[in-house]
């Protein structure tokens, strides 16, 4: 297996030095949240077994659950085919969303038209 630094070097960070992380419950595949990492946050996540992100609003690192108790224990981390997005599978304790809900994606339904396969 390659070193942590070699794995981080594979990530294509945006102009702000960040990459999006889609966070998913490892066993149910429920999408919990979207967060951002820079190289250091990703390093901390990959080496500690706990999800660490970069807060764009607060401009600081935050390890999920340190203040709320709603921790995310890392089960797997994967890079997408373009190298510019990360899928983080976690074991979530308690709510994932800062609003206190299980997932950040349980609010507004955009009422998309359900498509059918083309014939």
Known binder of ligand: residue 84?
yes
66 is known to lie in a ligand binding site: no
Beta-bridge partners for 75: none
C-alpha distances out from residue 94 to 12, 48, 68, 69, Å:
31, 20, 9, 8
Instruction: Give the span between the Cα atoms of 70 and 98, in whole angstroms.
Output: 10
Flag whether 80 is marked binding: yes
What's the token pair of residue 94? 């308690």
Q: Is 27 marked as a binding-site residue?
A: no
Binding-site entries: 80-82, 84, 97, 104
Binding-site entries for Zn(2+): 81, 97, 104
Binding-site entries for Mg(2+): 80, 82, 84
């Amino acid at each position: 297996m390659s070193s942590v630094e070699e794995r981080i070097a594979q990530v294509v960070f945006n102009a702000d030095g960040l990459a999006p992380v889609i966070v998913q419950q490892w066993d149910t595949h429920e999408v919990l949240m979207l967060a951002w990492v820079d190289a250091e946050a990703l390093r901390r996540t990959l080496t500690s077994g706990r999800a660490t992100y970069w807060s764009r609003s607060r401009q600081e690192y935050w390890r999920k659950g340190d203040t709320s108790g709603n921790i995310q224990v890392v089960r797997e981390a994967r890079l997408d085919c373009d190298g510019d997005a990360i899928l983080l599978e976690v074991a979530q304790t308690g709510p994932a969303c800062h609003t206190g809900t299980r997932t950040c994606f349980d609010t507004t339904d955009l009422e998309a038209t359900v498509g059918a396969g083309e014939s």
